[in-house]
Chains A and B, each alone.
Chain A
Amino acid sequence: MRSGARELWRAMRRDPMCLFGLILVLVTLSAALFAGFIAPYDPVKIDVANKFAGISAEHWLGTDHLGRDTLSRVIFGARVAMGIALSSILIAAGIGLFFGLLAGYGPRWLDNIILFIFDTLSSVPLILLALTIIAIAGAGTFTLVFVIIIVSVPTYGRLVRSQTLSLRRAEFILAEQSMGAGLLRILGVHLLPNVLGPLVIMVSMDIPTVVALEAALSYLGLGVKPPTPSWGAMLFDGYTNLRSSALPVIAAGLPLVIATLGFTFFGEALRDALDPKLKKGVM
């Protein structure tokens, strides 16, 4: 991992886009972590007398249709976006890891069943799968996390499965087996560290996708409930009041642009630095 960090540092000096990505990622993460200190106002405090205020020294990004400070809402929105994205991706990666190892190392019939379930889940177009779950379970933050987990598990599971499959016949695994190593030892000590690297890369590249999915569902009114400042919900509020002022909707789009671009450029550089084999990949 140390050489990985050095690789990354070298890549950063070589590639300005990586540095650019890292800066955007740091901006987003610090907004999420220190929202309470950075934000100039309470993100849910309503001040109707001051609605649709333009850009000013008091309100850097103006105010929305209820007079709430847009900048503060954007900053607190980072906390919502990062909280939902990171927690659901981590859980999904854990579940994907479990089923991927099971499918890759377990008996053939189990592999077939798990693969069929993954295929079934990914054969429903993403948003429709999400909408179906929301229709059944009702909208809300928990459903949102659940939706992201369900749509992400097949991708992670498949990656872990193919890694495991390619390793299970490797000589060092055969050697361990012939020396009588238990299942847990082979899975935990040998396979896990080898599949973790690619999984970490894929997870980090998935962050922008998940942030965008969360905002899309919140935009459709099927995600985070008001008055919680979610970028997607802000986008919708701004869109509804577009004829009064275009500033809120433009301001709500900016953090989405910053976060998705940042994590994408950083993720690409991370991938190139840590796993040169994947460099040729298309996405």
Chain B
Amino acid sequence: MLAYALKRIALALGILATVMFIMFAAVFLVPGNPARAALGPRATPEMLDKLTREMGLDQPYHVQVWNFFANALTGNLGTDVISNRPVAHEIWEVLPNTVILCAVALGWAFLLAVPLGCLAVLKRGSLWDRALGIFSVSVISLPYYVIAIYALVLFAVKLNWFPALGDGDGTWASYLNALVLPAFALGFTWVGYLARLVRASMLDVAGENHIRTARAFGVPERRIVTHHMLRAAIIPVLSLVFVSLGWLLSSAVVIEAIFSRPGIGQLVTKAVALRNYPVVMGCVLAMTAVYVAMTVIADIVIARIDPRIRDAFRGA
């Protein structure tokens, strides 16, 4: 188990280092100086020289890479070339906002999707099951940002129930009020996705011996579905959810841009438009690290719950 965990963590760190290494190489290889891009066309040569030195761009490539990794390990991600503040600080400030948005979106989607999936299994083959299938496929394929914008037009602009922009004026009530629309739009896709996952995983275990035994003993179908099938189906569902978290983070970036909600998404989209490299690199490192860490945790937890995965590793 420990060997498995260590190997998974080592692989994750390797991937993270490679991501940063490739990004560094790409910035280095592409013509155009990042300092010039940050300063814009009206920069004087002196300003350019100064910023180039400050960003360490006058150093040889291997020194730059070494410095970046050494700094990143101590939590220093460089300085924002526009606001002159430490990048790590800026990310730390907005990260909770993004995490809250993702968690609330995933939470409400999960609470709705599990009963929907159970219902589909209970009435499998019925019109209801079919309708849920079509609903799931539709919301998975619909672009979530179109849903976000339509929701914004209807509930914020026409009906004026919720604010269209920002994250409230500082009070808890206004914060929650401003969270409703973004969390709704972000979670909407997941209702379909999770309901489909729950249904498929439950049908996977439907033919297993303990389910048949329960049925032979006359356990009511509802109890079989909610107690026995759901329990067995939850592991594959959770593992797939963890693997899809990158998708959730991606959507959160666009949702934050739409609702002008402070968060990593807003930070990074603004930085990309201004070609503010240190911020872009810092955000990518932070979000990739979060995502990779999540998948590692999921793998280890699942290996712990399900001995078959552990044994498969030992046999390999």
Contacts and interface: CB of A to CB of B under 8 A. Distances in A.
A131 B153 contact: no
Nearest to B29: A136
Interface of A is mostly: helix
Contact of A282 (B18, B149, B196, B253): B196
B161 interface: no
A123 B273 contact: no
B196 A128 contact: no
B26 interface: yes
Contact of B143 (A127, A216, A243, A280): A216
Interface in B151-182: 152-153, 157-158
A134 to B, nearest CB: 6
Interface string B248-280: 011101100110000000001101110101001
A120 B142 CA distance: 28
Contacts of A265: 137
A135 B34 CA distance: 10
A219 B254 contact: yes
Given A135-B271, A222-B273, A123 B288 contact: yes
Nearest to B153: A246
A125 B250 contact: yes
Interface of B is mostly: helix
Nearest to A133: B26
A131 B146 contact: no
B205 interface: no
A154 interface: no
Interface string B59-99: 00000000000000000000000000000000000000000
Contacts of A280: 200
Given A124-B284, A264-B141, A135 B272 contact: yes
B258 A123 contact: no
B128 interface: no
Given A132-B280, A283-B140, A124 B19 contact: yes
Contacts of A122: 246
A250 interface: yes
Residue from the set A122, A124, A129, A260 with the largest chain B CB neighbour count within 10 Å: A124
A123 B15 contact: yes
B137 A264 contact: yes
Residue from the set A137, A216, A246, A249 with the largest chain B CB neighbour count within 10 Å: A216
Interface residues of B, number: 54
Interface string B129-154: 00000100110111101100110110
A126 B247 contact: yes
B312 interface: no
Residue from the set A208, A235, A249, A282 with the largest chain B CB neighbour count within 10 Å: A282
Contacts of A5: none
Interface in A193-238: 208, 212, 215-216, 219-222, 235
A120 B254 contact: no
Contacts of A34: none
B142 A131 contact: no
Nearest to B12: A123
B110 interface: no
- By Cβ-Cβ distance, the 9 closest A-B pairs, closest first, are A264-B141, A127-B250, A125-B246, A212-B143, A253-B146, A125-B249, A126-B250, A135-B272, A125-B250
29 contacts: A116-B15, A123-B288, A123-B291, A123-B295, A125-B250, A125-B253, A127-B249, A128-B249, A128-B284, A131-B268, A131-B284, A132-B23, A132-B272, A134-B272, A135-B277, A135-B280, A136-B23, A136-B27, A222-B272, A242-B152, A242-B153, A243-B157, A256-B143, A257-B143, A257-B146, A261-B141, A264-B141, A265-B137, A283-B196
